[in-house]
């Protein structure tokens, strides 16, 4: 075992709270949805029971309506804001009121493939909750097959320039005074600005005051944006759910209907002005206007669309480390500020998985080698500066360690 493998394992063990894993201590002291799935993938390398436990704990937070929250607050911890008192989630475990990219079905299948003894039984046990969660997306968040978000935090790409146009239309009146905690852990130049936090909290208050009523929010929220992260991860996850259903002898028709609708819906995210997949603000009808790393999840979604290859090659060669979370040639690019430019190892893994499956193996291998070098030289940071790989955000980060163990090493 290499020294880095040992470090990555230590990070996973160190962030393990017993049944669930925190992304990193201090900055993020709770269970996050897609972080947890990556953690399970990392554990699966040498501890399959622990991998399954991570997914089971996550799905135990599922709401009656099927939604699986983006944060589960198992134990209150004042080092993070906003906590359960602000969110007022209505599920079985104190939680936020929004979801996150649904990568679980995809990685449940991957982990099951590693588990000859129990994989099939685990898939059978988890299938109903996954189906119910995907049905929630289709019921409340599908607009002609494109998947919409009601909060930037739902996409996992919190302060991407994609949200600048819809945020400009929000006047965050009526929010309570608040004290951020994130900038006590991380340099404020690497985090979202107050402008964004005011609007994040405005949208949380709107949701909490409604009791997280999706029907009502669909009518009133100023933030309803079709998003490639959600659209592509759910499309991919539905393909995996369909394969699971077939293997288990469960009905496949409903899932097949979702997939067909989503394949058509994905094309509504094509912005001809930039010749790329993009966000689309359903309130104004306007596209986001720039190329984010989420656009390169098209191959992961099974859309073998080589129109994105030119952008991929351009963005990969623009900086030493790729893939920048936002286009380095765009005026809004900020290489140190969170989702406005930095590289995220787990996005690289998802993008490269898709490229590999689509037959673009040289591109996939280049991304993997570049990610491995970035981690080897700079450690297991939350994200990295594309220009020189300088580590940014939190350290000893769960998903960076998991991606190292399961893919990059």
Q: Which residues are annotated as catalytic?
A: 158, 382
Site string for ligand 9WN, 171-200 (x = CB under 6 A): -----------x------------------
Shortest reach from residue 34's CB to ligand 9WN, in Å? 6
Under rule CB under 6 A, how many of the chain's residues touch ligand 9WN?
10
The residue from 28, 167, 380, 407 that contacts ligand 9WN (CB under 6 A) is 28
Which CB atom, from 337 or from 356, has the smaller least distance to ligand 9WN? 337
CA distances from 202 to 10, 79, 171, 176, 209 (A): 38, 21, 9, 9, 11
97-110 b/e with 16+ CB inside 10 Å = b? bbbbbbbbbbbbbb
User: Which one of 27-35, 132-140, 258-266, 301-309 is the stretch in contact with ligand 9WN (CB under 6 A)?
Assistant: 27-35
Which CB atom, from 62 or from 99, has the smaller least distance to ligand 9WN? 99
34 belongs to the binding site for ligand 9WN (CB under 6 A): yes
Burial, 84: exposed, middle or buried (Cβ in 10 Å; 0-12, 13-18, 19+)?
middle
Which CB atom, from 25 or from 124, has the smaller least distance to ligand 9WN? 25
**Per 3-state DSSP, what percentage of the chain is helix, strand, and coil (rounded to 5)?**
55, 10, 40
Which CB atom, from 104 or from 131, has the smaller least distance to ligand 9WN? 104
Burial, 220: exposed, middle or buried (Cβ in 10 Å; 0-12, 13-18, 19+)?
exposed
Sites for ligand 9WN among residues 98-157 (CB under 6 A): 153, 156
Residue owning tokens 């935090």 = 153
Element (H, E) at 383: strand 383-384
> Residue 215 is encoded by which pair of tokens?
């029907």
Site string for ligand 9WN, 54-73 (x = CB under 6 A): ----------------x---
158 belongs to the binding site for ligand 9WN (CB under 6 A): yes
- The residues pairing with 142 across neighbouring beta strands, listed in sequence order, are 147
CA 155 remoteness from chain centre? 6
32 belongs to the binding site for ligand 9WN (CB under 6 A): yes
23 belongs to the binding site for ligand 9WN (CB under 6 A): yes
Residues interacting with ligand 9WN, by CB under 6 A? 23, 28, 32, 34-35, 70, 153, 156, 158, 182
């Amino acid at each position: 075992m290499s020294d880095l493998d040992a470090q990555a394992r230590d990070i996973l063990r160190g962030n393990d709270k017993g049944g669930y894993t925190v992304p990193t201590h201090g900055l993020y002291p709770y269970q996050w949805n897609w972080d947890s799935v990556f953690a399970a993938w990392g554990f699966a390398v040498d501890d399959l029971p622990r991998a399954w436990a991570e997914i089971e704990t996550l799905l135990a937070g599922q709401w009656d309506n099927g939604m699986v929250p983006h944060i589960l607050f198992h134990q209150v911890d004042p080092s993070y804001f906003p906590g359960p008192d602000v969110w007022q989630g209505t599920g079985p475990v104190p939680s936020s009121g929004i979801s996150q990219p649904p990568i679980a079905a995809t990685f449940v299948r991957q982990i099951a493939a590693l588990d000859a003894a129990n994989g099939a039984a685990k898939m059978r046990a988890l299938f109903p909750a996954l189906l119910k969660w995907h049905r929630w997306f289709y019921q409340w968040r599908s607009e002609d097959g494109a998947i919409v978000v009601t909060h930037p935090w739902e996409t996992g790409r919190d302060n991407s320039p994609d949200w600048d146009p819809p945020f400009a239309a929000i006047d965050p009146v009526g929010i309570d005074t608040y004290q951020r905690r994130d900038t006590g852990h991380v340099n404020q130049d690497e985090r979202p600005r107050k402008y964004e936090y005011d609007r994040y909290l405005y949208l949380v208050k709107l949701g909490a005051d409604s009791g997280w009523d999706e029907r009502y929010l669909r009518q009133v929220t100023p933030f309803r944006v079709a998003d490639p992260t959600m659209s592509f991860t759910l499309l991919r996850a539905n393909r995996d759910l369909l394969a699971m259903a077939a293997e288990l002898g469960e009905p496949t028709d409903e899932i097949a209907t979702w997939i067909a609708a989503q394949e058509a819906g994905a094309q509504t995210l094509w912005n001809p002005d930039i010749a790329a997949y993009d966000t689309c603000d359903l309130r104004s009808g306007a596209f986001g206007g720039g190329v984010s790393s989420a656009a390169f999840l098209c191959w992961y979604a099974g859309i073998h669309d080589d129109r994105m290859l030119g952008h991929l090659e351009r963005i990969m060669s623009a900086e030493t480390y790729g893939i920048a979370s936002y286009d380095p040639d765009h005026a809004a690019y900020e290489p140190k500020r969170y989702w406005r430019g930095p590289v995220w190892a787990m996005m690289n893994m998802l993008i490269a998985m898709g490229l590999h499956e689509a037959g673009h193996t040289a591109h996939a291998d280049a991304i993997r080698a570049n990610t491995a070098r970035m981690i080897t030289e700079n450690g297991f940071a939350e994200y990295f500066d594309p220009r020189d790989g300088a580590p940014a955000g939190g350290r000893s980060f769960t998903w960076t360690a998991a991606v190292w163990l399961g893919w990059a090493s």
